Amino acid sequence: MSPAHHPTPDPNGPHSGAQGPISGPVSGRDRGRLEAVPPPRRTAWDAEELMTMTFPPPRWAVPGIVCEGVTLLAGPPKVGKSWLSLNLALDIAAGRPALGSIPVEPGPVLYLALEDTPRRLQSRMRTVLAGRPAPAGLTLSIACDPMPAGGDEQVDVWLTAHPGARLVVIDVFAKVRGNAPAGVAAYDADYAAMGRIKRVADRHGVAVLLVHHVRKAAAEDFLATVSGTNGLAGAADAVLVLERARAQADGVLHVTGRDVDETDYPLAFDPDAGAWRVLDGRAEDYLMRDTRSLVMRYVRDYPGQRPKQIAEALQLDPGTVRQTCRRMVADGQLHATPGGQYSPAGGDTGDGRDSSAAEPLSLPSSRHTDGPDQAKPL
């Protein structure tokens, strides 16, 4: 966060009430007009002066996860990004613990649900609220102009009218980013698109959460899964990537950014309540369980596979799969032949499909870790 957004000594030096920010006398009629214009923003200090300055701590919408500035929330389609962002908006507006356990400071929230209808919004809120009253501090809208066409000004006007705002959610960012100007490189266009809303966020010291998608191709680094060029992640103050295997309730929220510590939060989704909650313990503990589950399901359908084949089909790290298979043999879950082929212990196989016809499963992106048994995709 730039220190220029907090009070600093006047870079223009002292001046009297009759002296405006430009030289020369100012008439009484013009004084009010000139005084309404903010002084030039200070952008440079010497090192000694900077080290003596005091700044307020960053304002958190969700401590440890969403800080003031622009945060990009990315994930595959239908993984639960909109449920997660709606959960956060309702919790912050009502002052309830976010994700079930994280204390937050209450305040006004703007939720731009640009892919929803009023009926769907009402239905989802009814599910999440579960009979509780809707928070008056939450403003919902299903329309906003693209940022280059005045959308940034619309958000700015709302924030000006709600000076205590804690969060703005834009779901989805593609609806407001606008078209790239002709002849502009893709990276520059992505960076500029983020820059418009970032200027609004920085001006008001508020957290803006942009819901976005990930690319289909797998990647070892979760940042590389964010759809678009590196200009999007580079311009954002923080990036969150939500991953969850299909038909599974547990997920992981990968977090990294300028003011947040890089970490992974294990989450669980309750479809009946439409609610995400943080799980106790480390994300690795849940990933480990998930790796064994994926391997077991695969060798049950395709017995006699080697670790390399299993890893390729599941888009997992081969070394992790080898370690997982060995441990599952030691625990009596798998049987291994002298040639290194694995099958479920006790002959528990699926429908007898030909193992040579095994095809890769469609799973979210992979991510390398050093811990044993840890699943790369979620």
At residue 41 the predicted structure's pLDDT band, cuts being 50, 70 and 90, is confident
- CATH superfamily assigned to domain 62-281: P-loop containing nucleotide triphosphate hydrolases (3.40.50.300)
Where along the chain do its domains lie? 62-281, 286-357
Give residue-wise pLDDT tens across range 93-104. Answer: 999 999 999 999
**pTM of the entire predicted model:** 0.69
Peptide bond into 172 cis (omega under 30): yes
What pLDDT was estimated at residue 288?
Answer: 62
The amino acid at 10: D
- The full 3-state SS of the chain, as one line of letters, equals CCHHHCCCCCCCCCCCCCECCCCCECCHHHHHHHHCCCCCCCCCCCHHHHHHCCCCCCCEEECCCEECEEEEEEECCCCCHHHHHHHHHHHHHHCCCECCCECCCCCCEEEEECCCCHHHHHHHHHHHHCCCCCCCCEEEECCCCCHHHCHHHHHHHHHHHCCCCCEEEEECHHHCCCCCCCCCCHHHHHHHHHHHHHHHHHHHCCEEEEEEEECCCCCCCHHHHECCCHHHHHHCCEEEEEECCCCCCEEEEEEEECCCCCEEEEEEEECCCCEEEECCCCHHHHHHHHHHHHHHHHHHHCCCECHHHHHHHHCCCHHHHHHHHHHHHHCCCEEECCCCCEEEHHHCCCCCCCHHHCCCCCCCCCCCCCCCCCCCCC
Give residue-wise pLDDT tens across range 175-218. Answer: 999 888 888 888 898 898 899 999 999 999 999 999 998 776 65
The highest-level CATH class for domain 286-357 is: mainly alpha
Mean pLDDT across 267-273: 92
Asked whether residue 283 carries a pLDDT value surpassing 90, the answer given is no
Instruction: Note whether 62-281 and 286-357 share their fold.
Output: no
